[in-house]
Amino acid sequence: MKILVLGGAGKIGSAVAWDLAGDKEIESIGIAARNDKSLEKTKSWIASDKLAVHILDIADASATRRLMEKYDVAVIALPERRSSYRTIEAAIDAGINAVDVLEEYHRRSDPYETENLEVPSGMSLDEYGESLHRRAMKNDVTILDGMGFAPGLSNITLGEGIRKVNAFSAVARVGGILSKESAVRHPLK
């Protein structure tokens, strides 16, 4: 299997690429980012023959799509939603399945967390999300989104905990270290 990690020179993307490099079933790993020095630093750190470096500006949709077409799966480890959605569009057009560590609801975005998202003219945010869904279905593309720490790992572990203790609901709090004043009120301090 050949996997492309977009944002592969960042903290999350480089960790994903490092982990994939140790998997015997992975044939090759592409890491893509705009900064060639960061990419070379990541390649040197991972030190795997499986790694290929790609300088890429994801704002160039056709270049992104062409690169994606060379791989079997894409991992999107980009820092903000605008980039995430651009890359999801390219993945759909390229016909490649993708895992996004950032965005949780490409189909139903939170209207308060759009971070300069460019919604096509004449569409509402919900219509745009629905159009992405329809295009992905038409192109037989699967998108797993919200697969980072939170959302992602937090949702999976919370769901497993609910199943094991036979609960019907739970509350997860993630995203940082509490202030000392807030920590006093919590059981783990």
Using one digit for the tens of pLDDT, what is the confidence trace for 104-128? 667 777 777 777 778 889 998 889 8
Q: What is the 3-state secondary structure (H, E, C) of 143-183?
A: EEECCECCCEHHHHHHHHHHHHHCCCCCCCCCCCCCCHHHH
Percentage, residues of the chain above pLDDT 90: 56
CB 78 within 8 A of CB 14: no
Q: Which residue has the tokens 């894409």?
A: 74
**What phi and psi values does residue 42 have, to the nearest 5 degrees?**
-65, -45
Using one digit for the tens of pLDDT, what is the confidence trace for 38-84? 999 999 999 999 999 999 999 999 999 999 999 999 999 998 888 88
Antiparallel, parallel or unpaired: β 73-76 and 97-100: parallel
| Residue 134: partners with Cβ closer than 8 Å, 6 or more residues away | none
Report which residue type is found at 180: K
Q: Which residue has the tokens 């783990």?
A: 188
- Residue 180 pLDDT grade (very low, low, confident, very high; cuts 50, 70, 90): confident
pLDDT for residue 21 is more than 90: yes
Whether this prediction's pTM lies above 0.85 is answered by no
Domains of the chain (ranges; CATH) run 2-148 (3.40.50.720), 149-189 (no CATH)
Q: Which is more confident, 185 or 142?
A: 142
- Residue 143 pLDDT grade (very low, low, confident, very high; cuts 50, 70, 90): very high
Average pLDDT in the chain = 88
- What pLDDT is stored for residue 178 in this prediction? 63
pLDDT for residue 101 is more than 80: yes
Tell me which of 26-40, 79-93, 145-159 is least confident.
145-159
For residue 144, what are the CA distances in angstroms to 35, 51, 152?
Answer: 26, 23, 10
